Amino acid sequence: MASSYKYRQGSDFWYLTGFEEPDSAVVLEKNASSRGYRMTLFSNGKDSAKEKWDGPRTGFDDALNVFKADDALTIKAFPAQLRSMISLYSNIYIDLPQSPRKNARSTKSLLRYLSPPVNPRSEYETVVESLSNSRRKSLAPLIAQLRAFKSVCEQQVMRMAADISGRSHAKTMRFTRPGISESALAAHFEYLCSLSGSQRLAYVPVVASGPNALIIHYTSNNQVVQDGEMILMDAGCEYNGYASDITRTYPANGSFTPPQKELYSAVLSAQKALVGLCTEAQGLSLHDLHRKSCDLLRQELKQIGFTLHTGDLERVLYPHFLSHPIGIDLHESSYSDRGELYVTLVVLSSLDLEFTFHARLKAGMVITVEPGIYVPPTAQFPKHFHNIGIRIEDEVLIGEKHPVVLSVSAPKEIADIEGACQGLLGLEPI
Ligand SMILES: [Mn+2]
């Protein structure tokens, strides 16, 4: 077997270089030049015998001309070069591959065990570990702060990613009918994204029909859609290096039932109010926004007949966090985790939490806004809402005074969703 997975470059490295080949490294040395640093890019370089099997590689000339490195060297020289370079500086910002977090020691030793003996990583690790703790600083938190703010070009790519995903959501609504399998809907969504130029999905999609929507991490997507059910579809593509993340909940047969409509309207009304708060002028943090989402959802649910006791909302009906930053990664800061979707094994330090969840939102950040309500079939909740799960998720670019919804192409209003499902919008399923 040649390979099991398509290669994807490390996000921080890609952010700094745009270089997509494996076995590469970069060193940036601060200096007095006009751009302020000297860049040395290490890679495999050309090798006609290997390229015949694996495809073309970037030569060292192109590393200089296309990727604007000041110097391009073979990756084999990296540990020795690094050893001599670091002797020149008092502060070295560096991360060990795969283990930026302190208590990942066991993972690291496992990786070393799994690595082939000639892997330059082990020699590299020896060099990095030779640095005293006072000189070795962690690079990842600094890059995370840079990546939190999207340039105009990044905003345009993210809008395109969200547009491709949003239109694919709309067409998948049109494609849906009772009797179809959840996996066919997942495949159709991915096919539509690929047709529009997406390189891959940003995550394994959730296509949950009926009561499956109550399972937050439902990704088996192997049930048959029944008439009268809704489908909760959490799916987004990756486009030119940037993730998108959209959730829509819609009726399988194209028409909401009265209870579905009532609960959907409640979540939608809270979701739209929350989107309206996504401005720098509001001065809120993700943590503040989440608290607002609990208040709003509580109010909405009371209006449609729920009697809520302490913990009912946060522990049962709405057990996940409202939001996360998004960009090159689905969860943009590698330090973020609120037990939210698709994040496993992330360990937080209090400093990281502070940065991601208590920092005020500023113009140029992109976050998701994804309130949801999932009603289990228990007697304390109104019976006509039992087994309904609804989440509505948009990607929002924080503006100074106005939020910009990047995922605007995915139908969200009841009339628009029914219109998309029923083909009233001139929409074709493909
Ligand atoms: Mn999300």
Reported as a single tens digit per residue, the pLDDT across 254-284 is 999 999 999 999 999 999 999 999 999 999 9
Distance 103 CA to ligand 1 centre (A): 26
Helix H, strand E, coil C: the string for 328-388 is: CCCCCCCCCCCCCCCCCCCCCCHHHHHHHHHCECCCCCEEEECCEEECCCCCCCCHHHCCC
Beta carbons of 335 and 348 less than 8 angstroms apart: yes
pLDDT category at 335 given cuts 50, 70, 90 is very low
Distance of CA 11 to the CA centre of its chain: 12
Report d(CA 193, CA 187) in Å as an integer. 10
**According to the model, what pLDDT value does residue 343 have?**
29
Distance 367 CA to ligand 1 centre (A): 9
pLDDT category at 3 given cuts 50, 70, 90 is low
Q: How far apart are the first and last CA of the chain?
A: 34
Q: Indicate yes or no: pTM above 0.85.
A: yes
Q: Which residues surround ligand 1, an ion (CB under 5 A)?
A: 245, 368
Distance 40 CA to ligand 1 centre (A): 36
Distance 254 CA to ligand 1 centre (A): 25
The domains of the chain, with CATH numbers, are 11-146 (3.40.350.10), 149-422 (3.90.230.10)
**According to the model, what pLDDT value does residue 315 have?**
95
92-93 vs 136-137, strand pairing mode: parallel
Distance 50 CA to ligand 1 centre (A): 40
Distance 371 CA to ligand 1 centre (A): 10
In this structure, what token pair is assigned to residue 206? Answer: 């959730």
